[in-house]
Chains A and B, each alone.
Chain A
Amino acid sequence: MADVQRETLEVDVLIVGGGPAGLSAALRLSQLQQEKGGEPLSIAVLEKAREAGAHMLSGAVLDPSTLRDLIPDFKEKGAPLAAEVHDEDVYFFTESSKLAFPIIPPPLRNHGNYVISLNQFVRWLTGQVEAAGVDFFTGFAGQDILMDGARVRGVRTGDRGIDKHGQSKPTFEPGVDILAKVTIFCDGVRGNLTKELHRRLQLGGREHPPQFAIGLKELWEVPRDRLKPGTVIHTLGYPLKHEEFGGAFIYAMPEGQLSIGFVVGLDYKDPLFDPHMAFNRFKQHPFMTSLLEGGQMIRYGAKALPEGGWNTIPRVYMDGALIAGDAGNFLNSMRLKGIHLAMRTGMLAAETAFDAVRAGDTSAAVLKAYKDRIDRSAVRDELYPVRNVHQAFGYGLLPGMAFAGLAVATHGWLPEDLHGHPGHDRMKMLSWYYGTRDVPIDKPSNATAVDRKLTFDKVTNVHFSGTSHDEDQPSHLLVHTEICSSICGPEYGHPCTRFCPANVYEITHEADGTPRLQINASNCVHCKTCDIMDPYQVITWVPPEGGGPQYNGM
C-alpha cells in the first residue's frame, strides 16, 4: 500500500484528541483569535470516538477553577454539572466494617467542586468549540506521526477498510495526512502518538518513569434515598493489601445514579492479582451492598490514569508540537483530579501555539514558552509540592499516607526526590511471589463469586460499556513477540488475562493442550492497561478503525 494516494490537509494548529485538554486548547485558540483579530488561524481537532465524549471516562469530581477562566459564564451556558459537592467522607475499609477518617485529608476536600459525568461535560464542551467555528473531526484517530527529522509536521489518520488479514476491502480509504505548524497532542493517558514521541525524541527522564493506575467504574441506578446527590465518598483499604496502591470512590448524582469506581496502581506485585476482581470484592463489602441493594448496574468502563505526578511529566514542547492533559501526565493523584489540569494545560498550549504561529516560528525554542507558562501557573503550584507522594506509596500504604501528610505540611520539602520504578517491573514472577511456579493460574488470586447482579464477569461488564468494533479488521493490539506459552505462562501465568478489564486477552488451548493467546480485540475499551502493564512490554495499543466504548452518562 506504499503507492496509495493520500489526501493532505494543511492547518495552522492541529489538536489530536477531543477530551478536556484538546477542547480547551481549541476553544482558547478561537478566543485568542477573537481578542487579537488578524488573519484567522485554521484549527482542526481529531477525535477517535464516533461521537464527542463517547470515550470519556472519569469519576468525576470537577474542580471548576480552569473552567471559570475558560468559560466565565459556564453556568449560563448550561454546563452539565450534575451536583455540587456538599457532603464528603473518607473511610478505611476492613473486610466487614469501616472506619471514618476523623478529618477529611486536605487533598480530598471537595468543597465548591462538582460531581459530573465527564461524557456529558465533554459533549457540552464540544458544542462550545463547534459554536466557535472549529473543525471537529469525530471518528478519526491519529495513527502515525509525520516527522521531518526532529520536527513534528502533523499526523496521519488511520486507513479504513482493511480486513482482518490485512487485505483491502472494497471500502478501502487511505488515511489523510494532516500537516500543521503546531500539533498539540492531547491523546490521553498513554496516548499512542505521545508514546511514539517519547520513543523518538526521548522526552522523559529515566529516573522518573511514568506511573499509572487502572480505574474501573460502574454507573448504578439505586433507590433515591440511598445517598444525597453531591455526596462524595472515598475509601482505602480492603480489598487491597498494604502493598497495593489504590482505593475507591462513590459519587452520588441526581436521580439515584451512583458513580462507583475502583482505582488500583499498575505497580502491584502479585502476578495473579486481578483489578476487576478487586472491584467485585469491593462491591461485596457490607457498606457497598447496603448502598447497591435493589439497584442496577447500567454502565461499565475502565481506563488507565497517569499517577506519577510532577516529576514524570515529559518534555512537553518540541519542534512543531506540544503535549497537554493526561498525555503529559498532568494529573494530581492525591486529589484524584486531572480534568482541570488537562483543561489548564490545553489553554496554556493554545496560548503558546497562537503566539508561535503568529510569530512565524514554531521551533522548540519558541514553544518552550509553554513550559514556562506551566511553571508560573496553578499547575505547578498544585503538583510540585506533592511530586513525591505517589512514589512514596511504592513503599506501602502507611508510609505513603504518612509521607502525603508530611508533603502537605511542608509544601513538599525534601532534600532529594524519590525515584519511581516502571510499574510493570514491580510485578513479581510466580516463583518469587509464591515461592513456586506450581500454582494454579486459571483463577485470579483474589477471585470472588460472580452473581451477575452485584458482581460481574468481564464479558458481561464489557457489554455494559457499549463497546463495539468492526470485527473484520486487523487486531489493534499488536503483540510483537508471541511468548505466551514459552515464557510468560511459566513466569507470570499470563497476567494479561487478569489486568485487562475487558476480556480482550484469553488463553485458549489447542487440541494438544498447548496454550494459545486469543485476542478478542473487539472487546477493547481503549483503557491502555495492556500497553502499560505487560511485564515484557511487547504489547502495543494502536487505534482501531473506528469503534470503541460508548460511555453515555459516564
Chain B
Amino acid sequence: MILVVAEQHEGKLNRATWEAIAAAQQLAGTAQQLAGGMPISVAVLGASTGGLGQELAAAAVAEVLVAENAALEPYTPDAYAAAVSAFIDSAKPAFVLLPHTYQTRDFAPLLAARIRKPLVTDVTGINGTGADATFTRPMFQGKLAAQVKPHGGSPAIITVQIGAFRADAVQKGGSAPVKKVDVQIDPSAIRQKPEAPFREAKQAVDLGQAERIVSVGRGIKSQENIALAEKLARAMGAEIAASRPICDNGWLPMERQIGSSGQTVAPKLYVALGISGAIQHLVGMKGSRTIVAINKDAEAPIFEVADYGIVGDLFEIAPALITELEKP
C-alpha cells in the first residue's frame, strides 16, 4: 500500500497534499481506472483536525486515517517523525508520499534516518507503477533529471515537488472510510521546544501556495509603478511577486522573489509583467500551469515559456486588464 501524509496548518489543508495524492494515484496505477493497483491510505495528523478527514475522503483512496494527539501541536520534527513511523510500523506501506513542503523538508530526512529507509526528495515524475516504479528528480539546479530507483527496503519515502503533479487531477468520487487512529507520542522524547512564530513569519507569504501570481520585473521601471502591479494582483485575486532586480532594489521584500535565489512556484496562473525571463527566473516559475507574459521586447526569453504572450507596453496593457477585471 501507499501512505500519503497530508499537511495541515491550523485546520487548513495544504493544497500540495492534493498533489501528493495525485502522485500516489499515479504510482498506484489507479490514475486511469479507479479499481486495481496498490491501495492508498491518506494520513492526517494534528492536535485537532476538524473536518479534514472528510475533506480528504472525497479522493479515490482506500481510507483516510486521522491521528489526533496534543503532542502534534505545535509542529515539531520529533513528534511528526514519531507519528509517521508509528503509521509505518502498523500499516507497512511500500511507499510513503509527502508534498515537498518546508515542513516535509524539516522532518522527512529525520524520519528516513530513524527508520533507515531510502528517501527520494523533490520528485517531479513517476515512471511505471507499484514496486517497479522509478522516480525523476532534479539535480544541479534542475539542469539534469535523474531517474532514481530506491533500494534498501520498504517503505521508500518520496517527497513530491510542489506543482509537479496537478491537484485538480486527483481522482475523486470515492467516499473513503475515515478512521481514527491512536498514535503514541512520548512528549518527553520531543527535543524541540518551538517558540512563538517570528513576527516576520506571520507576514511572510508562502508563494508556493498561491493559485495566481502577478510578478514584476525591471520593465516596471520605478518603485511608484509597483502600485499598478499590486492593483492588477488585487483585481485578479493574485499574490504579488518579483524577479531579482526588483527585490534587490528593495521595491518588494526579498521573500517575494521568484527564481533560483528565491522561491520556486507553480501556480495555476503566472502573469509576468516586464520580466525578460533570465534562466534564473525561469527555473523558479516554469512549472506554472499557464504563463502570461507582457513585455516590450519580442525577443525576450520569457516568451519561450509563455502560453500567452503580449508584446507591448505594460503601462497600457495592465490598466486595460484591470478595467476589464473590475467590470461587474
Which residues of chain A have C-beta atoms less than 8 A from B260's C-beta?
A: 463, 468
Q: Which B residue's beta carbon lies closest to that of A511?
A: B222
* Interface assignment of A384: CB less than 8 Å from any CB of chain B: no
- What's the least CB distance linking B248 to chain A, in Å? 7
Q: Quick check: B278 and A460 within 8 Å, CB to CB?
A: yes
Q: Which A residue's beta carbon lies closest to that of B247?
A: A471
Which residues of chain A have C-beta atoms less than 8 A from B283's C-beta?
A: 463
- What's the least CB distance linking A475 to chain B, in Å? 10
* Interface assignment of A69: CB less than 8 Å from any CB of chain B: no
* Interface assignment of A464: CB less than 8 Å from any CB of chain B: yes
- Separation of A511 and B218 alpha carbons in the complex (Å): 12
- Separation of A471 and B254 alpha carbons in the complex (Å): 9
Chain A 463-478: CB-based contact to B (< 8 A → 1; otherwise 0) = 1101011011000000
Which residues of chain B have C-beta atoms less than 8 A from A508's C-beta?
A: 218, 245
Q: Quick check: B261 and A471 within 8 Å, CB to CB?
A: yes
Q: Which of A459, A460, A463, A469 touches B141 (beta carbons < 8 Å)?
A: A463
Q: Quick check: A459 and B254 within 8 Å, CB to CB?
A: no
* Interface assignment of B113: CB less than 8 Å from any CB of chain A: no
Q: Quick check: A468 and B261 within 8 Å, CB to CB?
A: yes
- What's the least CB distance linking B253 to chain A, in Å? 11
* Interface assignment of B174: CB less than 8 Å from any CB of chain A: no
Chain A 425-462: CB-based contact to B (< 8 A → 1; otherwise 0) = 00000000000000000000000000010000001101
- Separation of A508 and B251 alpha carbons in the complex (Å): 15
* Interface assignment of B301: CB less than 8 Å from any CB of chain A: yes
Which residues of chain A have C-beta atoms less than 8 A from B143's C-beta?
A: 298, 464
Q: Quick check: B248 and A520 within 8 Å, CB to CB?
A: yes
Q: Which B residue's beta carbon lies closest to that of A523?
A: B280
* Interface assignment of A522: CB less than 8 Å from any CB of chain B: yes
* A-B CB pair tally, cutoff 8 Å: 39
* Interface assignment of A202: CB less than 8 Å from any CB of chain B: no
Q: Quick check: B141 and A466 within 8 Å, CB to CB?
A: yes
* Interface assignment of B221: CB less than 8 Å from any CB of chain A: yes
* Interface assignment of A540: CB less than 8 Å from any CB of chain B: no
- Separation of A454 and B151 alpha carbons in the complex (Å): 39
Given A463-B279, A471-B254, A518-B248, are A452 and B301 also a contact pair (CB < 8 Å)?
Answer: yes
Chain A 514-554: CB-based contact to B (< 8 A → 1; otherwise 0) = 00001010100000000000000000000000000000100
- Separation of A466 and B261 alpha carbons in the complex (Å): 11
Q: Which residues of chain B in 210-224 are interfacial with respect to chain A, using CB atoms and an 8 Å cutoff?
A: 218, 221-222
- Separation of A466 and B283 alpha carbons in the complex (Å): 13
- Separation of A518 and B245 alpha carbons in the complex (Å): 9
Q: Quick check: B279 and A459 within 8 Å, CB to CB?
A: yes
Which residues of chain B have C-beta atoms less than 8 A from A511's C-beta?
A: 221-222
Q: Which A residue's beta carbon lies closest to that of B276?
A: A459
* Interface assignment of B102: CB less than 8 Å from any CB of chain A: no
- Separation of A460 and B218 alpha carbons in the complex (Å): 17
Q: Which residues of chain A in 356-410 are interfacial with respect to chain B, using CB atoms and an 8 Å cutoff?
A: none
Which residues of chain B have C-beta atoms less than 8 A from A471's C-beta?
A: 244, 247-248, 254, 257, 261
- Separation of A518 and B250 alpha carbons in the complex (Å): 12
Q: Which B residue's beta carbon lies closest to that of A163?
A: B254
Q: Which of A464, A518, A522, A552 touches B261 (beta carbons < 8 Å)?
A: A522
- What's the least CB distance linking B199 to chain A, in Å? 12
- Separation of A209 and B95 alpha carbons in the complex (Å): 64
A contact residues, range: 10 to 19
Q: Which residues of chain B in 254-295 are interfacial with respect to chain A, using CB atoms and an 8 Å cutoff?
A: 254, 257, 260-261, 278-280, 283
Q: Quick check: A459 and B221 within 8 Å, CB to CB?
A: no
Given A464-B143, A468-B261, are A459 and B280 also a contact pair (CB < 8 Å)?
Answer: yes
- What's the least CB distance linking B257 to chain A, in Å? 8
- Separation of A463 and B254 alpha carbons in the complex (Å): 20
Q: Quick check: A459 and B278 within 8 Å, CB to CB?
A: yes
- What's the least CB distance linking B235 to chain A, in Å? 25
- What's the least CB distance linking A219 to chain B, in Å? 12
Q: Quick check: B248 and A552 within 8 Å, CB to CB?
A: no
- What's the least CB distance linking A500 to chain B, in Å? 16
- Separation of A472 and B253 alpha carbons in the complex (Å): 11
Which residues of chain B have C-beta atoms less than 8 A from A552's C-beta?
A: 140
Q: Which B residue's beta carbon lies closest to that of A165?
A: B250
- What's the least CB distance linking A142 to chain B, in Å? 25
Which residues of chain A have C-beta atoms less than 8 A from B301's C-beta?
A: 452
Q: Quick check: B248 and A463 within 8 Å, CB to CB?
A: no
Which residues of chain A have C-beta atoms less than 8 A from B278's C-beta?
A: 459-460, 463
Chain B 141-184: CB-based contact to A (< 8 A → 1; otherwise 0) = 10100000000000000000000000000000000000000000
Q: Which B residue's beta carbon lies closest to that of A510?
A: B222
Which residues of chain A have C-beta atoms less than 8 A from B257's C-beta?
A: 471
Chain B 216-248: CB-based contact to A (< 8 A → 1; otherwise 0) = 001001100000000000000000000011011
- What's the least CB distance linking A502 to chain B, in Å? 12
- What's the least CB distance linking B150 to chain A, in Å? 24
- Separation of A452 and B279 alpha carbons in the complex (Å): 10
- Separation of A59 and B222 alpha carbons in the complex (Å): 43
- What's the least CB distance linking B241 to chain A, in Å? 15
- Separation of A468 and B280 alpha carbons in the complex (Å): 11
Q: Which A residue's beta carbon lies closest to that of B141?
A: A466
Q: Which A residue's beta carbon lies closest to that of B221?
A: A511
Q: Which A residue's beta carbon lies closest to that of B278?
A: A459
- What's the least CB distance linking B88 to chain A, in Å? 33
Which residues of chain B have C-beta atoms less than 8 A from A472's C-beta?
A: 254
Which residues of chain A have C-beta atoms less than 8 A from B279's C-beta?
A: 459-460, 463
- Separation of A520 and B246 alpha carbons in the complex (Å): 12
Chain A 460-499: CB-based contact to B (< 8 A → 1; otherwise 0) = 1011101011011000000000000000000000000000
Which residues of chain A have C-beta atoms less than 8 A from B218's C-beta?
A: 508
Q: Which residues of chain A in 120-179 are interfacial with respect to chain B, using CB atoms and an 8 Å cutoff?
A: none
- What's the least CB distance linking A166 to chain B, in Å? 14
- Separation of A459 and B259 alpha carbons in the complex (Å): 13
Which residues of chain A have C-beta atoms less than 8 A from B248's C-beta?
A: 471, 518, 520
Q: Which of B140, B244, B247 touches A466 (beta carbons < 8 Å)?
A: B140
- What's the least CB distance linking B242 to chain A, in Å? 13
Which residues of chain A have C-beta atoms less than 8 A from B249's C-beta?
A: 518
Residue of B247, B278, B283 most packed against chain A (CB within 10 A) = B278
Which residues of chain A have C-beta atoms less than 8 A from B261's C-beta?
A: 468-469, 471, 522
Which residues of chain A have C-beta atoms less than 8 A from B140's C-beta?
A: 466, 552
27 contacts between A and B (CB under 8 A): A298-B143, A459-B278, A459-B279, A460-B278, A460-B279, A463-B141, A463-B278, A463-B280, A464-B143, A466-B140, A468-B260, A468-B261, A469-B261, A471-B244, A471-B247, A471-B248, A471-B257, A471-B261, A472-B254, A508-B218, A508-B245, A511-B221, A518-B249, A520-B244, A520-B248, A522-B261, A552-B140
Which residues of A are interface residues toward B (Cβ below 8 A)? 298, 452, 459-460, 462-464, 466, 468-469, 471-472, 508, 511, 518, 520, 522, 552
Enumerate the 9 nearest inter-chain pairs by beta-carbon distance, A residue then B residue, closest first: A463-B279, A459-B278, A460-B279, A511-B222, A463-B280, A471-B261, A522-B261, A468-B261, A471-B254
Beyond A459-B279, A471-B248, A508-B218, 12 extra complex contacts between A and B, CB < 8 Å: A460-B279, A463-B278, A463-B280, A464-B143, A466-B140, A468-B260, A469-B261, A471-B254, A511-B221, A520-B244, A520-B248, A522-B261
Which residues of B are interface residues toward A (Cβ below 8 A)? 140-141, 143, 218, 221-222, 244-245, 247-249, 254, 257, 260-261, 278-280, 283, 301
